[in-house]
Amino acid sequence: MNPSYENGIKFFQNTDETAIHGVVVNLSDVSPHISRYTIEVYGQLFSNPVLTYQQREMVIISALISLGDTPSQLKWHMNFGLKVGITPNEIIEIATHCIPFCGFPRALNAIGVAKQLFTEQNIEVTIEDELLNNVGERRERGLGKLQEIDGKHGEAVADSLADIAPLLAEQIIEFAFGEVYSRSGLNPKQRQLVTLGALTAQGGCEPQLHVHINAAIRVGLTRQEIIEALLQCSPYTGFPKVLNAINVAKEIILTK
């Protein structure tokens, strides 16, 4: 047996042994090769220590939310995320963070999947609307967070909209950064990993990936962590979207 398959089997044995049964047994009669591919993918990606299991699952969950049409897989990965150390509150925060990148409907559908999973497992979530009493400060807060996360790249995006879509510029500042990015449920590195997963899954978001890969570097993610996050998306989004994302990262990394 090849090393990737062996690593994949060991990975599932250490984290979720029932998954082996699901992958091997359920697929063995019609597509045993896909069963092997699946286990090999886990053996390849999850054995690389550049990202933790929690970080990898955050990227996967955000990518699946952004795709919007994989509720069964999303539920499985939310559950698996819990097994490897992601908290229920963090799962809700990942869905919240995806709103500016994939829209309310997909985020709301993801919340529905999470709610079903939590109900089945008797999990309580204690998310607060922590900025409710500071709504009047969100523009100022958003400008500060935009500068902190995106620097000149974020300002350039907002400035480019000023003469044609000023409302959109204000929504980016006040909602995306003054509300979502300002919440405490995820740290800046986690938020950028979630953003990279969501944008890669969307496809056609190369200009936005350019901004957010720079932001990922700005908040402290290494080049290796960024590349690994993009690679983690390939089994879920397909190779073309990841190749496009890698090309954006390559352009940025070569100029740093």
Instruction: Give me the mean pLDDT over the 147-166 stretch.
Output: 80
DSSP state of 136: G
Q: Residue 256 pLDDT > 70, yes or no?
A: no
CB-based contact 60:236 (threshold 8 Å): yes
Q: Residue 22 pLDDT > 90, yes or no?
A: no
Percent of the chain scored above 70 by pLDDT?
A: 99
Look at residue 26 in the predicted model and tell me its pLDDT: 82
Look at residue 221 in the predicted model and tell me its pLDDT: 97
Give the whole-angstrom CA distance, residue 151 versus residue 163.
21
Give the whole-angstrom CA distance, residue 227 versus residue 211.
15
Q: Which of 185, 175, 100, 107 is nearest to 145 (CA)?
A: 175
Give the whole-angstrom CA distance, residue 72 versus residue 215.
31
Look at residue 249 in the predicted model and tell me its pLDDT: 97
Please say whether the dihedral angle defined by the alpha carbons of residues 130, 134, 138 and 140, taken in this order, is positive or negative: negative
Q: Give the pLDDT band (50/70/90) at residue 1.
A: low
Look at residue 135 in the predicted model and tell me its pLDDT: 86
CB-based contact 234:200 (threshold 8 Å): no
Give me the helices (H) in 68-151, please: 71-83, 88-102, 104-120, 138-149
Highest-confidence range of 20-29, 69-78, 151-160, by mean pLDDT? Answer: 69-78
Phi, psi of 6 (to 5 degrees): -60, -40
Q: Could you tell me the two tokens for 34?
A: 């896909």
Q: Residue 224 pLDDT > 70, yes or no?
A: yes
Q: Which CATH number fits domain 48-130+183-255: 3.30.160.20, 3.50.50.60, 1.10.3470.10, 1.20.1290.10?
A: 1.20.1290.10
Look at residue 163 in the predicted model and tell me its pLDDT: 82
Q: What is the pTM of this model?
A: 0.94
23-47 pLDDT, tens per residue? 877 887 889 999 999 999 999 999 9
Q: Residue 61 pLDDT > 70, yes or no?
A: yes
* Average pLDDT of the chain, as a whole number: 93
- Between these two residues, 90 and 169, which has the higher pLDDT value? 90
